[in-house]
């Protein structure tokens, strides 16, 4: 009987679905302590068709899920849809399909694809963030944050498209132009909604230390993003203003070298300072130019500045130092003002050189020599010089000492600052959660009362792609009575960043249909935090940081008892494939490409192959349907996990797929033999290999080393092939069990073919007996002076005496030692003997 996956797979998919094998009762399941396991794949944006690259993520999660099921864990594995977002709106504009219709259609297609891969989710917990039953609680969360001062309205510079009359996300700005209409994007100060994530900067940073099962790389990226730095604020008196200007510095030890001061053009004291300046109009024009530049343009312009003509007093040297304006000073970091120490800072040095400002070195090398400027090292290699009370102190001590002096004098304070900025959540977009706020002429900003939630997103809006957010044109939505005074008022028409939706969805899976509250505290505390979170590295910063932030705010509201939402995190790598470019660099559709002498051509034109992430626009996606029709989902699953370590990028190879198919075919045919196979003695080699394999596969799955777990199963299968006539039934069944997470359909079929009852999914994972793993004999490699000179074989367990006896009886090895004196013998138990001779 041939191995025909297309006949087997739909049958088992249907049976698992009918038996609802993945459904969890959150109240009654997982009673025993330690039995609950919350598995979660990051919920996807429903963009439509899934390719084999997407498959890696979900197949991986399903393999882990099935493994834990077989280990007897009560595993919850839900799935949902991050269903708000721009692509749906763009599709609506382009094709006049409603975003909701488009989104729900995509969800159906993707669900069907998950089923064809044999992936088991608890669909009774399904959520879609675009539905009122979900975004109701998004709005509720917003109101709680608003109540606690963690959501606020403030102004921020944003990307503004003057033609489409809308704000654009940074990703929608390509080379300074609007992605859709090509107009030059402007920077505008607009009133926007923010979440005060900066209030949690220190806790988000410190919490990273507790995440021992997160990849170091992700923690590092978050740490850099939060950008903690220790330093001090210092006040520099400004006689002209009558009040001092405060600067932030991480190098207060260099304050004796501060020879000028630079303010951001946005600094609040700037208008006063340039009063009566000689070229005031020119300076104002320059300020306007700088403020309208995007961050990128501002940086590319190089360092530019203007003197204000006013001075500040260096509080340590008591010298008058000039106050400049500079485009390189960031208004949103520190105080928007800095003391410039050109001798010991690259940027200050460049600025001072450009404008002829004084440079004074205040650090010497430990040797006493003058360092080459700018000298910026912050360690013991430098010693303070020309610096009064800190003269002679190494830099680290000088920093501590000068901060103490600054604090004693009451002109500043040592503190920690972060580069993390508040989270801008406003979007002037239709397809998102409406922000539940109302503008009343009398009462100002009024939150929508909780009992009036959800503020429903109206579905009857036109999609023109022009004139900004269609919500603001929807009279019935916009016009509302003020909840406080009843007078005519206007609704907020901004919607929320979709990262808000995904910042807490993992909490909603426990009670997705509850229309009374966001979640049930008792059940959430039972099932969370998420034990195993799986998703792409592209979410290493934003999504994971926002989820950690929101979880902490809920903790502080007393709604949950934990602060970190994800205990163990895994980021899988992308799958790449060759695509083809022509000489002009455009991607060429696959059906126009022919290979001659192994090189790609289109007609007579030579093409260039390039390996990239799969993408429709590069014509290098592998759709799973054809693959499944030919080889089956089990083959795709095994190949996908075998191809490379799962966290690494992997190149798809059509030939490689065949290897996985052949392996499954061999296991299939072997099963037919086992079904009517021999009884009698089990070969010792088979028993040994079985226990070794159980041991290896178990620990490798736990460590997410699926590629080597599968290679261990291939080794066992190869050995069973050599013993095909013998009694190998026990080992073969163990092989099926261990193969189940990777090839669930075929193993279920074989399991029932061997006459077993029930699903293999719920069969018990085999346990290795370490006594039966041992070899009968141990081969000892003998090295003389570090060179391999022979082997001896002794009965296990090998003792030093047995090995030495065997060595002395081995003529060949003795020849190498002959005539020399043995000075040392090193015996590594079970492995190696090394004889050192002279």
**Does the footprint of RNA cover residue 756 (CB under 7 A)?**
no
- Binding residues among 625-644 for RNA as defined by CB under 7 A: 642-644
Identity of the residue, 303 or 473, whose beta carbon is nearer to RNA in the bound complex = 303
For residue 354, give Cα distances in angstroms to 328, 645, 658. Answer: 13, 51, 64
Identity of the residue, 93 or 836, whose beta carbon is nearer to RNA in the bound complex = 836
Residue of 66, 298, 474, 552 that binds RNA (CB under 7 A): 298
Identity of the residue, 129 or 327, whose beta carbon is nearer to RNA in the bound complex = 327
Report in angstroms how near the CB of residue 76 gets to RNA at its nearest. Answer: 29
Report in angstroms how near the CB of residue 434 gets to RNA at its nearest. Answer: 29
E strands present in 621-673 = 650-651
Identity of the residue, 374 or 434, whose beta carbon is nearer to RNA in the bound complex = 374
- Binding residues among 734-753 for RNA as defined by CB under 7 A: none
Identity of the residue, 707 or 756, whose beta carbon is nearer to RNA in the bound complex = 707
Return all residues near 390 (Cβ < 8 A) that are at least 6 apart: 253, 384, 398, 401, 402, 405
Distance CA 771, CA 621 (A): 48
- Dmax (CA) for the chain in angstroms is 109
**Does the footprint of RNA cover residue 577 (CB under 7 A)?**
no
- Binding residues among 681-700 for RNA as defined by CB under 7 A: 696, 699
Give the three-state DSSP class for 836: strand
Question: Of the listed pieces 361-369, 458-466, 652-660, 679-687, which binds RNA according to CB under 7 A?
Answer: 652-660
E strands present in 199-336 = 229-236, 245-249, 260-263, 305-313, 320-326
Q: Are 234 and 251 in contact (CB under 8 A)?
A: no
Distance CA 677, CA 659 (A): 26
Closest CA to 750 of 107, 10, 6, 12: 12
Report in angstroms how near the CB of residue 123 gets to RNA at its nearest. Answer: 33
**Does the footprint of RNA cover residue 658 (CB under 7 A)?**
yes
Q: Are 532 and 62 in contact (CB under 8 A)?
A: no
Q: Burial of 581 by CB count in 10 Å (0-12 exposed, 13-18 middle, 19+ buried)?
A: middle
Report in angstroms how near the CB of residue 440 gets to RNA at its nearest. Answer: 37
Report in angstroms how near the CB of residue 580 gets to RNA at its nearest. Answer: 18
- Binding residues among 329-388 for RNA as defined by CB under 7 A: 329-330, 333-334, 336, 338, 341, 345, 347
Which residues are registered as beta bridge partners of 782?
A: 790, 833
Identity of the residue, 107 or 411, whose beta carbon is nearer to RNA in the bound complex = 411
Identity of the residue, 48 or 656, whose beta carbon is nearer to RNA in the bound complex = 656
**Does the footprint of RNA cover residue 645 (CB under 7 A)?**
yes
Residue of 452, 718, 762, 814 that binds RNA (CB under 7 A): 718
**Does the footprint of RNA cover residue 453 (CB under 7 A)?**
no
Identity of the residue, 132 or 656, whose beta carbon is nearer to RNA in the bound complex = 656
Residue of 126, 391, 715, 730 that binds RNA (CB under 7 A): 715
**Does the footprint of RNA cover residue 158 (CB under 7 A)?**
no
Residue of 415, 481, 609, 651 that binds RNA (CB under 7 A): 651
**Does the footprint of RNA cover residue 663 (CB under 7 A)?**
yes
Q: Burial of 771 by CB count in 10 Å (0-12 exposed, 13-18 middle, 19+ buried)?
A: exposed
Helix (H) or strand (E) holding 542: helix 542-556
Residue 776 is classified by DSSP as S
Distance CA 98, CA 331 (A): 41
Identity of the residue, 165 or 767, whose beta carbon is nearer to RNA in the bound complex = 767
Question: Of the listed pieces 57-65, 71-79, 510-518, 787-795, which binds RNA according to CB under 7 A?
Answer: 787-795
Residue of 787, 811, 821, 838 that binds RNA (CB under 7 A): 787
- Binding residues among 252-271 for RNA as defined by CB under 7 A: 264
Q: What are phi and psi of 650, to 5 degrees?
A: -140, 140
Closest CA to 191 of 435, 422, 423, 426: 426
Identity of the residue, 442 or 699, whose beta carbon is nearer to RNA in the bound complex = 699
Give the three-state DSSP class for 246: strand
Question: Of the listed pieces 19-27, 48-56, 89-97, 779-787, which binds RNA according to CB under 7 A?
Answer: 779-787
Report in angstroms how near the CB of residue 348 gets to RNA at its nearest. Answer: 7
Question: Of the listed pieces 26-34, 237-245, 396-404, 715-723, which binds RNA according to CB under 7 A?
Answer: 715-723
**Does the footprint of RNA cover residue 295 (CB under 7 A)?**
yes
Return all residues near 285 (Cβ < 8 A) that are at least 6 apart: none
Q: Burial of 171 by CB count in 10 Å (0-12 exposed, 13-18 middle, 19+ buried)?
A: exposed
For 127-188, give the DSSP string: EETTSHHHHHHHHHHHHHHHHTTSEEEEEEEEEEETTTTEEE-GGGEETTEETTT-PBPEEE
Report in angstroms how near the CB of residue 778 gets to RNA at its nearest. Answer: 9
Identity of the residue, 14 or 799, whose beta carbon is nearer to RNA in the bound complex = 799
Question: Of the listed pieces 60-68, 222-230, 490-498, 671-679, which binds RNA according to CB under 7 A?
Answer: 222-230
Distance CA 567, CA 389 (A): 49
In angstroms, how far is CA 368 from the centroid of its own chain? 48
Distance CA 652, CA 642 (A): 11
**Does the footprint of RNA cover residue 534 (CB under 7 A)?**
no
Residue of 650, 728, 735, 768 that binds RNA (CB under 7 A): 650
Identity of the residue, 14 or 699, whose beta carbon is nearer to RNA in the bound complex = 699
Report in angstroms how near the CB of residue 751 gets to RNA at its nearest. Answer: 21
Question: Of the listed pieces 154-162, 212-220, 614-622, 734-742, which binds RNA according to CB under 7 A?
Answer: 212-220
Residue of 648, 796, 797, 814 that binds RNA (CB under 7 A): 648
Report in angstroms how near the CB of residue 86 gets to RNA at its nearest. Answer: 20
Number of residues that bind RNA (CB under 7 A): 80
Identity of the residue, 674 or 763, whose beta carbon is nearer to RNA in the bound complex = 674
Residue of 781, 802, 804, 810 that binds RNA (CB under 7 A): 781
N-terminal to C-terminal alpha carbon distance within the chain? 66
Residue of 17, 165, 183, 788 that binds RNA (CB under 7 A): 788
- Binding residues among 402-441 for RNA as defined by CB under 7 A: 417, 419
Report in angstroms how near the CB of residue 208 gets to RNA at its nearest. Answer: 14
In angstroms, how far is CA 641 from the centroid of its own chain? 20
**Does the footprint of RNA cover residue 231 (CB under 7 A)?**
yes
| 416 CB-side CA count, 13 A | 14
Site string for RNA, 792-831 (x = CB under 7 A): --------------------------------x-x-x--x
Give the three-state DSSP class for 83: coil
Q: Burial of 48 by CB count in 10 Å (0-12 exposed, 13-18 middle, 19+ buried)?
A: middle
Give the three-state DSSP class for 637: helix
Report in angstroms how near the CB of residue 713 gets to RNA at its nearest. Answer: 8
Report in angstroms how near the CB of residue 787 gets to RNA at its nearest. Answer: 6
């Amino acid at each position: 009987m041939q191995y025909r996956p297309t006949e087997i797979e739909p049958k088992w998919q249907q049976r698992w679905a009918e038996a609802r094998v993945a459904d969890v009762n959150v109240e009654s399941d997982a009673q025993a302590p330690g039995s609950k396991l919350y598995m979660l794949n990051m919920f996807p944006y429903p963009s439509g068709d899934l390719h084999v690259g997407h498959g890696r993520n979900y197949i991986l999660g399903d393999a882990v899920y099935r493994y834990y099921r077989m280990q007897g864990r009560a595993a919850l594995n839900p799935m949902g849809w991050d269903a708000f977002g721009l692509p749906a709106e763009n599709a609506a504009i382009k094709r006049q399909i409603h975003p909701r219709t488009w989104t729900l259609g995509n969800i159906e297609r993707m669900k069907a694809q998950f089923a064809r891969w044999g992936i088991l989710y608890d669909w009774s917990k399904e959520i879609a963030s675009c539905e009122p039953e979900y975004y109701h609680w998004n709005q509720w969360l917003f109101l709680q944050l608003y109540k606690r001062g963690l959501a606020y309205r403030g102004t921020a510079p944003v990307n503004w498209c003057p033609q489409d009359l809308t704000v654009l996300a940074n990703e929608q700005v390509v080379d300074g132009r609007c992605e859709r209409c090509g107009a030059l994007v402007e920077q505008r100060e607009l009133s926007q909604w923010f979440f005060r994530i900066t209030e949690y900067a220190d806790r988000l940073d410190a919490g990273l230390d507790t995440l021992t099962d997160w990849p170091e790389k992700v923690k590092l990226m978050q740490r850099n993003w939060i950008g903690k730095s220790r330093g001090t604020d210092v006040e520099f008196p400004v006689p002209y203003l009558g009040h001092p200007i405060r600067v932030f510095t991480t190098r207060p030890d260099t304050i004796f070298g501060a020879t000028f001061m630079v303010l951001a053009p946005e600094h609040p004291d700037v208008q006063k300072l340039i009063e009566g300046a000689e070229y005031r109009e020119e300076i104002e024009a320059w300020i306007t130019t700088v403020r309208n530049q995007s961050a990128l343009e501002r940086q590319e312009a190089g360092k530019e500045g203007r003197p204000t003509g006013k001075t500040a007093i260096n509080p340590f040297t008591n010298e008058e130092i000039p106050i400049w304006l500079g485009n390189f000073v960031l208004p949103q970091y520190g105080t928007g003002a800095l003391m410039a120490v050109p001798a010991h800072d690259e940027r200050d040095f460049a600025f001072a050189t450009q404008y002829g400002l004084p440079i004074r070195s205040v650090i010497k090398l430990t040797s006493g020599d003058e360092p080459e400027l700018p000298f910026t090292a912050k360690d013991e290699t430098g010693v303070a010089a020309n610096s009064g009370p800190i003269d002679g102190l190494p830099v680290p001590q000088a920093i501590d000492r000068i901060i103490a002096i600054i604090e004693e004098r009451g002109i500043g304070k040592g503190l920690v600052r972060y580069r993390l900025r508040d989270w801008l959540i406003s979007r002037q977009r239709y397809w998102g959660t409406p922000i539940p706020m109302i503008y009343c002429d009398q009462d100002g900003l009024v939150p929508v009362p909780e009992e009036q939630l959800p503020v429903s997103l109206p579905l009857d809006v036109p999609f023109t792609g022009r004139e900004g957010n269609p919500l603001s044109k929807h009279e019935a939505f916009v016009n509302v009575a003020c909840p406080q005074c009843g007078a005519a008022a206007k609704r907020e028409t901004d919607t929320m960043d979709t990262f808000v939706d995904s910042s807490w969805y993992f909490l909603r899976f426990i009670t997705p249909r509850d229309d009374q509250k966001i979640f049930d505290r008792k059940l959430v505390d039972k099932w969370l935090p998420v034990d195993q979170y799986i998703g792409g590295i592209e979410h290493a910063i934003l999504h994971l940081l926002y989820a950690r932030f929101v979880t902490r705010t809920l903790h502080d509201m007393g709604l949950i008892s934990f602060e970190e939402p994800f205990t163990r995190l895994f980021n899988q790598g992308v799958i790449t494939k060759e695509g083809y470019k022509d000489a002009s660099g455009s991607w060429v559709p696959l059906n126009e490409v022919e290979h001659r002498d192994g090189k790609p051509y289109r007609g007579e034109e030579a093409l260039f192959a390039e390996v990239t992430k799969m993408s429709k626009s590069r014509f290098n996606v592998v759709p799973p349907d054809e693959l499944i029709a030919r080889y089956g989902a089990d083959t795709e699953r095994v190949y996908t996990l075998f191809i490379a370590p799962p966290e690494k990028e992997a190149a798809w190879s059509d030939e490689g797929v065949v290897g996985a198919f052949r392996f499954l075919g061999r296991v299939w045919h072997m099963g037919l033999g086992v079904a009517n196979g021999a009884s009698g003695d089990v070969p010792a080699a088979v028993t040994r290999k079985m226990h070794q394999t159980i041991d290896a596969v178990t620990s490798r799955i736990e460590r997410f080393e699926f590629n080597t777990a599968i290679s261990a199963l291939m080794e066992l299968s190869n050995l069973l092939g050599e013993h095909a006539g013998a009694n190998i039934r026990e080992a073969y069944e163990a092989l099926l069990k261990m193969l189940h997470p990777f090839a669930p359909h075929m193993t279920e079929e074989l399991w029932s073919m061997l006459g077993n009852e029930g699903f293999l999914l719920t069969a018990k994972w085999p346990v290795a007996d370490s006594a039966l793993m041992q070899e009968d004999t141990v081969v000892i490699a003998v090295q003389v002076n570090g060179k391999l000179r022979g082997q001896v074989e002794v009965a296990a367990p090998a003792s030093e005496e047995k090995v030495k006896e065997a060595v002395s009886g081995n003529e060949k090895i003795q020849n190498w030692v002959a005539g020399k004196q043995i000075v040392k013998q090193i015996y590594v138990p079970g492995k190696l003997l090394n004889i050192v001779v002279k």
